[in-house]
Structure 1
Amino acid sequence: RVRLPRALVEEALGAVPKSALLAGKTAARDISLPRADRGFVMRTGTGAHGFLDVDTQDFRNMHIGDVATIARLANGLDQVGFIAHPFAYGVPELTSDIHGVGELICNTDKHIWLQPYNVENIDYLVKIVEAAGSTHARPIASMIMCSFTPLEFKVMDVEVLIQAGRAGLPVHACALPSAGGTAPLSVAGNVLTAVAEILAMVTLGHVLAPGLPIIATPLMFTLDMATGQALHACPESLQAKVLAVEVLRSLGLLTHTYGMGSDTPDSDRQSMAERAMLGQAVALAGADILGGVGQLQTATIFCPVQAVLDDELAAYLRAFVRPPEVSEAAFNWDELRQIRVGGHFLASDQTLALCRTQYRPGVFRRDRRDDYDKSGRSGAWEAARDRARALIAAELPASLPDTHARAEIARLRARADAEIAATATVSGRRAVI
């Protein structure tokens, strides 16, 4: 077991950048962390291998064509700052990440998140985003590295740090402990495992890629001791995420964790209850990035309708966590103490000044019962489905890779298939450290 000197860890914490740019293909899509309003940024779920059809809600495997659907959808979700690629079928398994990124980057002008599946694939992923215009000054992608819990690292993830450093791509240092499985069952033990692994990644980054933005990403799970199922929306997982975010923020790190998601397989009432609890908890903890938009069944299914509902819920949460003004003007005491019997504030200067500052829902409903019944009892879910359909059918943004860049991306995808997938072998460098 390698032990990192306390002085080196403290040096790394002092040196790691306290801000990061997750650039879009245009400045209007840029994400600066931390946000000026100290609020959060959302991202879509990653790693899902299942997909719920927008029209039928039938479940099927995620197809490579669904990556473009997710991109088109997320292009129009105002609260979603960047997009992750899922695991897609319909392409060689060993290069699914390369094909997913190739599809994603050609269908969105937002920042994207890279998640390599093999050490051999990292170079291809970096070259694809560079072909699409990523530079050190304006990285249009960031990359995840993960610990191999408990307290180990795969060669692939150390290579992520090295190559991300060369390309100037910010890194999300991700720990994914499962309490009772790869971490102690207690909430405190789960948190300690994640924090220790993330501190190790920050220290490795300081040595291997000094000056590279590293975002602490505790993605906490808890095993259901009755079934062995990993859960991320249970009370214990919520407590672990909140505590880990608070500890890592206290160390001066940018933070990223699940802010949406549920353990149910459908976009149902339970799903909304779980993700509302999760989102509120981590938003109040001060996380910079809330991930998991659209994900169901513990991050294994993507649902476009749920993604629209999550976007709405994020807008609600953003309004909720924004501190209200507390001032003499806000109290409006002078007007209040002079109000006559039976008076009101409808024509108040303050009411007129603030009436357009309230949260206004997009798909959440505020209908009266009579109108609700007359509409055929069409509610937020139906409104979200209709919005999902419209966003998926919308025109793509103008600032996408040009013909030359697309040809280079296609060439890289084909070369990856020839060099990695066709041989059905990888280097074997699966050692952990």
Structure 2
Amino acid sequence: MIHANTMTHQAVQFSVLTDSQKQDLHLAALEVLRRTGIRFYHSGALELLKKSGAFISDGNLVKFPARLVEAALATAPCRVSMCDRDGNPAMHLEGNRASFGTGSDCLNLLDPRTGEHRLFVEADLLEAYRLCDALPNISFVMSIGLPSDVEQALTYDVQMLHMLENTVKPIVFVTNDLASCRRAIDMAAVVAGGYEALREHQHILLYSEPSSPLKQSETAVDKLILMAKTELPVVHSPGPQMGAVAPITMAGGLVMSLAEILSSLVVHQLTRPGAPFVFGAGIHHMDMSAMQICYASPEFQLTKAAVAELGRWYGLPTWGYAGCSDAKVMDEQAAAEAMLSVIMAQLSGGNLIHDVGYMESGLTCSYEMIVLTDELIGMIHNLIKGIEVSPATLLVDEIDKVGPGGHYLDADSTLKRFREFWNPGLLDRKTRPVWLKKGGTSLNQRLNAKVLRILAEYQPKPLAPEKSHKLREILASAKK
């Protein structure tokens, strides 16, 4: 029997925390905020918190009553919508909707033409952003690399200029101080057509971090407050390493990170209630044998899934990680770890998923890794759709019509629906003779060929010349 008014799809998703465990983690974080507190190295935030009822001792140690956290959670929006450079809707950060993009500030690049492991340079940024603009499942662009041939004080200005010129996709940006953050907003406002247009059609989001354990630096809070005042979205995400600057257990790492996130949210919402805030944390562990953080460990997959669940439980959009690996080259390890991270990000329901292309624990970028992850995102997107069970898919009449011993090759439903199955662009399903006829290439060879083809042929939509000129004027002002 077919029942009316029932769900036809059950999205594939899993949970790593029960509701009672989420409550336990939340209450433990509130206890850390009440008993231990957070050190704020920002006089304006200290004044704001004291005025709002926080307890301040020892100069800058802030202890939070639970009501401040509850009030901040009540005013923070549950949804952040981002536009592309032209003001068109591009990403809705809410519920279980996942959008994927690159990471920031890799020192090194695996050169797609020579295979050399070398330092990032400014010319690489333009190619990286064009590559991302061309890939259908990369929804936003982050700065990707630190150009070694650019004056350090201008690094983030140069990144922002090239992102705005070489992609129409939403941008997640990073800056090293308040002045460069202001200039990034100024640049984005030029492109949007003014500050009010930028606020209405938001296409930039700031990534910043507290200083684990349990500290908020002056620079980070400066930027957090600026984003609240301008009503532009921000993710203020801890990135602690369990066993180094966070407790060794996953639960302990989550508790400390929650305390840091919630303290950030309180300052943010006290500054401008209702300003957009994205909830996130990257809780890695320290491999004690190598003294290196791990980007692809099962423990990191679990903590990032827990962060996504907790963010939804709080009613906030979430920040996550995928498409990253501890491998040094594009090999089987890189592919396996990329797949694991994409599956976990999609199944756990994170919203703004970054670090696509990261290799060597975030020290190196691979364009081939970005292209591979673009392919995997499409595959896993079809996986999490689940199975549609409805009158249109049960096909009882068609089964009866074809009967025993028949076939469905020319059935109406086959002709109508066969394209709904996911088809790979780079993963190979052909027979061996067909594969050999096409060159018998490995996946890595096909990835590299696609990278080089995009870099040779693809040109993004150009920015209006007068806007590019104004961006360069802002960059020039930073040099003075």
Q: TM over 0.5, yes or no?
A: yes
1:105 aligns with 2:164: yes
Considering fraction of residues, name the structure with more helix: 2
Structure 2 unaligned regions, length at least 5: 1-60
Structure 1 residues 323 and 3: alpha-carbon distance in aligned structure 2, compared to 1, 3 A threshold:
farther
Q: What is the one-letter code of the residue matched to 1:30?
A: A
Equivalent-residue separation in structure 1 for 2:458 and 2:342 (angstroms)? 30
Determine if contact 1:39/1:322 at 8 Å carries over to the other structure: no
Equivalent-residue separation in structure 2 for 1:278 and 1:195 (angstroms)? 22
User: 1:77 offset after TM fit, Å?
Assistant: 0.7
Q: What is the one-letter code of the residue matched to 1:52?
A: L
Aligned partner of 2:185 in structure 1 is 126
| TM-score (normalised: structure 1) | 0.91
Aligned partner of 1:396 in structure 2 is 459
1:45 aligns with 2:108: no
1:79 aligns with 2:134: no
Q: What is the one-letter code of the residue matched to 2:156?
A: D
| TM-score (normalised: structure 2) | 0.82
Equivalent-residue separation in structure 1 for 2:142 and 2:279 (angstroms)? 17
1:222-371 residue pairs with structure 2 within 5 A?
222-336=285-399, 340-371=403-434
Structure 1 residues 29 and 394: alpha-carbon distance in aligned structure 2, compared to 1, 3 A threshold:
farther
Equivalent-residue separation in structure 2 for 1:76 and 1:84 (angstroms)? 15
Aligned partner of 1:15 in structure 2 is 75
Q: What is the one-letter code of the residue matched to 1:307?
A: I
Equivalent-residue separation in structure 2 for 1:265 and 1:90 (angstroms)? 23
Aligned partner of 1:89 in structure 2 is 148
Determine if contact 2:102/2:142 at 8 Å carries over to the other structure: yes
Once the two structures are superposed, what CA deviation does each residue of 1:154-199 show, in whole Å capped at 9, x if it has no partner?
1111111222233332111211111111111111112222222222
Once the two structures are superposed, what CA deviation does each residue of 1:75-98 show, in whole Å capped at 9, x if it has no partner?
111111111113221111122111
Indicate the SS of the match to 1:30. Answer: strand
Equivalent-residue separation in structure 1 for 2:109 and 2:431 (angstroms)? 34
Structure 1 residues 284 and 113: alpha-carbon distance in aligned structure 2, compared to 1, 3 A threshold:
same
Task: Give the alignment partner of residue 54 of structure 1, picking from 112, 123, 136.
Answer: 112
Equivalent-residue separation in structure 1 for 2:314 and 2:230 (angstroms)? 26
Once the two structures are superposed, what CA deviation does each residue of 1:323-361 show, in whole Å capped at 9, x if it has no partner?
221224323234436653322222333222211111111
Equivalent-residue separation in structure 2 for 1:262 and 1:200 (angstroms)? 31
User: 1:378 offset after TM fit, Å?
Assistant: 0.7
Aligned partner of 1:416 in structure 2 is 478
Indicate the SS of the match to 1:355. Answer: helix
Indicate the SS of the match to 1:81. Answer: coil
Aligned partner of 2:255 in structure 1 is 192
Equivalent-residue separation in structure 2 for 1:301 and 1:160 (angstroms)? 27
Q: What is the one-letter code of the residue matched to 2:214?
A: L
User: 1:20 offset after TM fit, Å?
Assistant: 1.2
Indicate the SS of the match to 2:62. Answer: coil
Determine if contact 2:175/2:181 at 8 Å carries over to the other structure: yes
- Higher alpha-carbon deviation: 321-330 or 274-283: 321-330
Task: Give the alignment partner of residue 90 of structure 2, picking from 3, 21, 30.
Answer: 30
Equivalent-residue separation in structure 1 for 2:458 and 2:391 (angstroms)? 48
Equivalent-residue separation in structure 1 for 2:476 and 2:253 (angstroms)? 42
Equivalent-residue separation in structure 1 for 2:298 and 2:209 (angstroms)? 24
Q: What is the one-letter code of the residue matched to 1:15?
A: T
Structure 1 residues 405 and 390: alpha-carbon distance in aligned structure 2, compared to 1, 3 A threshold:
same
Structure 1 residues 375 and 394: alpha-carbon distance in aligned structure 2, compared to 1, 3 A threshold:
closer
Q: What is the one-letter code of the residue matched to 1:269?
A: E
- Higher alpha-carbon deviation: 343-352 or 64-73: 343-352
User: 1:112 offset after TM fit, Å?
Assistant: 1.0
Equivalent-residue separation in structure 2 for 1:88 and 1:358 (angstroms)? 41
1:191-210 residue pairs with structure 2 within 5 A?
191-210=254-273
Equivalent-residue separation in structure 1 for 2:102 and 2:186 (angstroms)? 23
User: 1:289 offset after TM fit, Å?
Assistant: 1.8
- Higher alpha-carbon deviation: 117-126 or 50-59: 117-126
Once the two structures are superposed, what CA deviation does each residue of 1:227-264 show, in whole Å capped at 9, x if it has no partner?
11111211111111111211221111111110210011
Q: What is the one-letter code of the residue matched to 2:149?
A: G
User: 1:42 offset after TM fit, Å?
Assistant: 0.7
Equivalent-residue separation in structure 2 for 1:27 and 1:355 (angstroms)? 35
Aligned partner of 1:154 in structure 2 is 217
User: 1:132 offset after TM fit, Å?
Assistant: 2.2
- Higher alpha-carbon deviation: 356-365 or 68-77: 356-365
Determine if contact 1:94/1:118 at 8 Å carries over to the other structure: no
Determine if contact 2:228/2:276 at 8 Å carries over to the other structure: no
Q: What CA RMSD, in Å, does the superposition of the two structures yield over aligned residues?
A: 1.9
Once the two structures are superposed, what CA deviation does each residue of 1:382-421 show, in whole Å capped at 9, x if it has no partner?
2222221222233533352x23322222222222233xxx
- Higher alpha-carbon deviation: 323-332 or 262-271: 323-332
User: 1:276 offset after TM fit, Å?
Assistant: 0.8
Equivalent-residue separation in structure 1 for 2:86 and 2:131 (angstroms)? 18
How many residues end up aligned between the 2 structures? Answer: 415
Equivalent-residue separation in structure 2 for 1:173 and 1:321 (angstroms)? 28
Equivalent-residue separation in structure 2 for 1:120 and 1:39 (angstroms)? 33
Aligned partner of 2:176 in structure 1 is 117
Larger Rg: 2
- Higher alpha-carbon deviation: 328-337 or 384-393: 328-337
